[in-house]
Amino acid sequence: MTEEKKTRLRGFAGIVSKQVEPLNENEKFKHMFKETEEKVLLNAKDGKWAAMLIIDKGKIYIEGIKNEPKENLKKKNAGWNGLISCKTDMFLELLGSEEISMGKVIRKILSGKIKIRGIKHVLVLLKLFSL
């Protein structure tokens, strides 16, 4: 087996992986993120798995992290720079929509449906999904 062969991602991490990993073939993505190193934890609160989105100098990949125990998701243990936490259907709505508007996301944050930590690092996702 090759080293690139990875373990199968489960649950929410698998869904996110299928959405973002094709960007590794996109030249515009490689150029835009060639000097970026970010780790953003996408936590689907009602699922069993969270997805750690890792951008490492023009490459993007996903790691699955179990939601239980809660200590697995803490910044000290997981090593994330930014965090988005909400229910799975909210993530799917954001990932599946053609355009993610800042106003739409801000309304959901203010209503308490989405929790964000490290907003500066999370804003990388807006550029990412604009590709």
Q: Which of 78, 98, 95 is nearest to 87 (CA)?
A: 95
Residues in the chain: 131
pTM of the model: 0.83
How far is the C-alpha of 85 from the C-alpha of 91, rounded, in Å? 9
Q: Which of 65, 68, 5 is nearest to 39 (CA)?
A: 65
pLDDT (tens, 9 = 90+) of the chain, 131 residues, equals 334 445 678 888 888 888 888 889 989 989 998 898 999 999 988 889 999 999 998 899 999 999 888 898 999 988 999 999 999 888 777 766 666 667 777 888 888 888 999 988 888 887 877 76
Domain residue limits, the chain: 11-129
The domain made up of 11-129 has a fold known as Nonspecific Lipid-transfer Protein; Chain A (3.30.1050)
